Amino acid sequence: MKWIRERDALIAQTMAFVQSVTGKKDDVLRPRAPSDSPAASVETAALEAAVAEIKPPQPPPQPQRIQLSPPRASGDFRTEMQARIANFRQHQQRFEREREEYCAQTLTRLRAAIHDASPRPPAEK
């Protein structure tokens, strides 16, 4: 039965890989002697892999504590919010003034351009 040999070979390869990853060097990684039969080497590898030590998983690292600033007093928070709101309103008022000034300048230039424009010559028929 060919599939049994293939399965056993796959198991042996997997176990050899696991042992190489864990750092354990066993007879599984040595080349087999010419007198060994394939079935015997697969069985030996499977048994050695079953007996192989598996390292226990490492505990997860401890989370670092984050230093938080102490909570502010409610009056402190209120005054800061009022200052931020006042600052925001000042910015908005400045932006509105600048927009109105720009609009007024643009309209003044447009009116001047229309007033100074010479009349068109009459169209010839």
Neighbour count for residue 109 (Cβ, 10 Å): 10
pTM of the predicted model over 0.75: no
* pLDDT at residue 108 in the model: 95
Burial of residue 24 (CB within 10 Å: 0-12, 13-18, 19+) is middle
Find, among 39, 37, 45, the residue nearest to 20 by Cα.
Answer: 45
Average pLDDT over residues 70-78: 74
Using DSSP's 3-state secondary structure scheme, residue 25 falls into: coil
| Whole-angstrom Cα Rg for the chain | 43
- Residue 45, pLDDT > 70, answer no
Q: Domain residues of the chain, as ranges?
A: 2-51, 75-116
The percent of residues in the chain predicted with pLDDT above 70, rounded, is 62
